[in-house]
Chain A
């Protein structure tokens, strides 16, 4: 053995504090708040449910040991049910180190290790927590082997064209604070606005209940405002207020998450560091990068900017026990005109333009068969029903939803394209938010052409390709393009 067997750092027991200790804290909080500890102690089921999370962590901590020899990383865990996990060092694709506030406090690091077996299953990476000294030793021992197969993708490993820079030619990109705030502000806000509304309404009800506000007074105030301004204006104002709040929260959140975002490129590999509370470091060998995604929200497109992400096994993966999935961010804000140059600096073979294939002119109406259009029509039906039956005029909400969905469809038609050649495949898709996926042909694993009877007669189909990337990011679809595009891609895969 050249390392271990060693137990994790004790911080491991508390690193998912909110997940493991939440029930215990809530139960104790309620018992203390009511001044009656019997609520907690009289019921065995409650005690078991509350202490299960912390006990599970303790058992894992006490029974897990990690060791490394010349060829393998071994993890032994379990008490009643023992488990022995062996990972050949040659198969390790990435090792990244993270530090949450608790880790920083106790000088510990969380190491995430990914190999071929963890690519397809998101949330299946290996996670370990060690003190600084052990973490550094392990990181060096587990350093991704550049000769290792990339997810058993032999073809991709052959491709070493990227490593053309001299080692002294180190480039560094550092994101400005304003850029980090802007990406938070300009990112798509629909889901976040809905989450924010749920949190605010939930919080409002809690405060109202526990602070003793008078329900009737609040209801009267709402009714009064409702009568003066009308339902449509109230809904519009509420949406604008929530949207602005979402923009503000998004900016602050992005600033905290990506604080001090740096990308260092030494020609062979790139290193990404960021984080204010949770510090993260990723090292990716360039030969393991499958491709890039250039994402633009509606607002970003107005300013001709976008976010560049990179697809590489281990970056953007969700490791075991991780609470949130990381986004494989590469450049937070990048001007459209700089896109090809930037990609060219990292993987020169992907930095060229070719003529994209767009959806056929006569196939635009196929984009109407989408969930957003059906949902908008259902909204209009409900708003019509409420307006006619209950006399509350919210018809504008339904009409607005339909108009927005039709605009989205028109933009999907304009944004969709696919192009492929001997070196790369590019798929653009999306409505208000546009995503352009650029993938090395050698990293494309499969292709699917999907069509219905009537579409087939018109030579129209959805083309989907699967490529080497962390689970959840490993597919891209071009909707309603010519079947020629699929035949072209199929032909390239054969070679």
Chain B
């Protein structure tokens, strides 16, 4: 039994328990702290699976999310203690979701190395090597320089980035080379989404103008 797989399953179980606690507990502060614990477990999973950039980013993003959420709940008292809907609605939702999980479980356990055409954990498509025309995603291999196109190469584009990335981008960090050279257009899209979210937050939180009606909506 691979010790890394055992540790990974333990961490995933911890994340499941932590997220169940986060959504079922009545106290909002405990809920946010549990979310922090789930994020920390995810951070350890990123480190274990060989992704240090993601571990750094997840740690600091987790801190900012916790600070922002705490800012919301600590200054506002909410006296409503009923936090879930009626029993019939909750029961039917649970039934449908349980059906979904059973469906995925059945699909994943088909014989022959995993259903849904998914490769088993730890054996990605780039382990196989074949001709360049059969590379996934299908189409001509853009990531490969033209003088290498006739060689045998890994069958997925991540493998092609690993093999030829250094001579095309000269970035020692392959992930940054992908983000800012091979896939820079996607990074432009990401910068746009962050920009729009920030401007949306400004627009929502603008200073309120003059009163439209004389009385307030809620008795203060």
The finding on whether chains A and B are genuine partners in a shared complex, rather than unrelated, reads: no
Give B contacts to A, CB under 8 Å. none
Give A contacts to B, CB under 8 Å. none
